[in-house]
A and B are shown apart, each in its own frame.
Chain A
């Protein structure tokens, strides 16, 4: 099997799963119970919060565990909207966002908010001048993803944050789901930061929203204090611990893993550049983990299933986007409908080996030759 869909989700690290099992079995108390068992769970919860905080260089009080990045994004957006609804009705985002940002924006647009999508330049970066021209006293929220999930485009969120700092009433949310483990991050100049553990070898079902102490947020799940007041429900101790551990392992091994993926990226791009009829959409402003290409002669979904026959797994668009034909991200970046409707994403990991890429290339070439011209959606 060759798995090249690590940006959709990663396999769980064995030691992370061990921690999850250990905690599930041995820390049975509710962290909010007053007895000894509760206290032991509470102490462990605190230790895992402290570890996340120190890795991200924020305060323990700024860590909110959630069920994942989609919930984090929703909590960030609706939490701000509900808390600061008297401040203004204007929100800025990009068309490179994940659906868990784009859909709330559509909902808010129907409910009287003005949503602006800031332009993306040729490099794939947010046009800072356009952003400046959009910002106004009425802007209450800017939400931008640090790394786009389909192409891998990186935004300089700290630079953007500095611009937003000139608008003290405006809150800056960053979706960092695809950034953690794929680039060095800094949360300076950022008010809210979302991420999910299963993108860095953690478990599905747990994520985080970092909320700086100086801003307020309305809860979206009401029910009193749990781990935080922003998200009620019995604290998911074993999941929280597993996130904390996955994050530590990711940070501890960042350099080695990153360098390996850079090598793999170079190797794959070189191989791909020898193939006629494809265009590599990911540029140098992308994390090395994601390579998005458009195929001229084969429908992407057909290619996906053909590769699947050889036990090779990639994706078209993101696993989360709904089944429209075009990739919004690729369209936004390339302004080309044909490229947008014919893209596939290959995503790499430190677990990937060059032999995996060779197998992919062989199968890909074989299937291009076999399938070209057989469907009408290709670019030809």
Chain B
């Protein structure tokens, strides 16, 4: 039977899960989540998807491969995937398909690797590899077998109904399916580090919402739009991410007016953490995530982190804490946030920067400075004036106009 003529789709992607399958109890949950994430990402394309405990299959028209590949590279939980040809699991069909497909490949040396997950198939793996190797050698000129360093590896995976033949394997972006670990709130400033921190947290299966502290008129709407663009980029790796805009002007001005100039950044960060603590609990999240990187600025020294962190007992995840700046930049380029991050708009961390911010703040001093104004009331007021922006809706914003 020539499947090319009978099947609606001519190509097939076989997905390998990797780390997912080692988590025995959650395995089904993880695979289901990956399955639905793929359906969500591939919406609008003509394809069919099936899931099994060890593999997932996407059948599609070959002209869509580049689009699908691009989308797969934005789905967490895929360890690797291959572009495979599918045949019925019997020797004659496999031979016919194998010869047809391998004639289009360019190579001088090769080896055959067979994986027989269906033990009812009458020929053992090594035996089958040898037979197929022989078949290839008799049908194609000027090639030889090289088991150590072949130019082409012919993979034959024999499963119960169908056998999959493939020559090339692509890496996925790994991680856990988006959101399987629960939710966290990301402090998103607009700089290079925080989007990268968000991406890395998402990669480990954390569903995120983003929190942006805004100090209009000291910061502009352009700065907010920049953050919205960053959220959109992160949303490419997940879905339904919301941006929570915190009106921070009043608190920030109060700090600037009342507190020791050396301490304004430290106290500002403590206020942000206090607000984050409240937001995490309100939004049924579990952790605060931010882009702090050890030693990068005055508020990110170990003593600063200690003093700032002491206002909350929630876990604070700092995915880029131990990365060098250049390593962070590499990731930001990979996830396409770098060019947005470097746009030159002031954010609230850069508006009021004292000439000499304290590097080793003292906790008692912070508390004394904070007693100079009623921040608790201001925080309450701020939290009752939050603005929620859903970036998913943004795409349809101009539906009527465009």
Say yes or no: A241 contacts B225, CB within 8 Å: no
Q: Which of A39-47, A223-231, A322-330 contacts B (4 or more CB under 8 A)?
A: A39-47
Name the interface size band of chain A.
10 to 19
Indicate if the CB atoms of B402 and A34 lie closer than 8 Å. Answer: no
Measured CB to CB, the closest approach of chain B to A53, in angstroms, equals: 12
Q: B253 interface residue, CB < 8 Å from A?
A: no
Number of A-B contacts (CB under 8 A): 28
Which secondary structure dominates where chain A touches chain B? helix
| A241 to B220 Cα, complex, angstroms | 26
Q: Is B222 an interface residue (CB 8 A)?
A: yes
Chain A CB count within 10 A is highest, among B225, B397, B398, B401, for: B401
Q: How far apart sit A43 and B400, CA to CA, in the bound complex (Å)?
A: 15
SS class, residues of chain B in contact with chain A: loop
In the complex, what residues of B have CB within 8 A of residue A250's CB?
none
Tell me the chain A residues, 40-89 only, with Cβ under 8 Å from chain B.
43-44, 47-48, 51
Return A167 CB to nearest CB of chain B, in Å.
Answer: 28
Q: Which of A36, A39, A47 contacts B402 (CB 8 A)?
A: A47
Verify A43–B225 contact, CB threshold 8 A: yes
Whether the Cβ atoms of A19 and B222 lie closer than 8 Å is: no
A36 to B217, CA, bound (A): 12
State whether A245 touches B402 (Cβ < 8 A). Answer: yes
Taking the closest CB of chain B, its distance from the CB of A184, in whole angstroms, is 13
Chain A contacts with B in 246-293, Cβ cutoff 8 A: 248
Q: When the two chains form their complex, are residues A48 and B221 in contact, meaning their CB atoms are under 8 A apart?
A: no
State whether the Cβ of A155 lies closer than 8 Å to any Cβ in chain B. Answer: no
Please pick, from A36, A39, A47, the residue contacting B398 in the complex, using a CB distance under 8 A: A47
Known: A39-B225, A43-B225. A245 touches B220 (CB 8 A): no
Q: Are A23 and B401 in contact (CB under 8 A)?
A: yes
Q: Give bound CA distance, A248 to B398, whole Å.
A: 13
Flag if B221 contacts A51 (CB, 8 Å): no
Report the minimum CB–CB distance from B39 to chain A (whole Å).
22
Q: Is residue A22 within 8 Å, beta carbon to beta carbon, of the partner chain?
A: yes
A19 x B221 contact (CB < 8 A): no
**A297 contacts across to B, CB distance below 8 A:** none
Which residues on the A side are within 8 Å of B221 (C-beta)?
35-36, 39
- Are A34 and B401 touching (Cβ within 8 A)? no
Contact A245 B401, beta carbon cutoff 8 Å: yes
Chain A nearest Cβ from B261, distance in angstroms: 29
In the assembled complex, the Cα of A248 lies from the Cα of B400 at a distance in Å of 12
Cβ-defined contact, B225 with A244, below 8 A: no
CB pair A248–B402 under 8 Å, yes or no, is yes
Q: Which of A23, A39, A245 contacts B222 (CB 8 A)?
A: A39
Contact B222 A34 (CB under 8 A): yes
Most buried by A among B221, B397, B400, B402: B402
| Among all A-B residue pairs, the 4 with the closest Cβ atoms | A47-B398, A19-B401, A39-B221, A245-B402
21 pairs, A vs B, C-beta closer than 8 Å: A19-B401, A22-B401, A23-B401, A34-B222, A35-B221, A39-B221, A39-B225, A43-B225, A44-B398, A47-B397, A47-B398, A47-B402, A48-B398, A48-B402, A51-B402, A241-B401, A241-B402, A244-B402, A245-B401, A245-B402, A248-B402
Name B's A-contacting residues (CB within 8 A).
220-222, 225, 397-398, 400-402
Q: A19-B401, A245-B401 are in contact. List 11 more A-B contacts (CB 8 A).
A: A19-B400, A19-B402, A34-B220, A39-B222, A39-B225, A43-B225, A47-B398, A48-B398, A241-B402, A245-B402, A248-B402
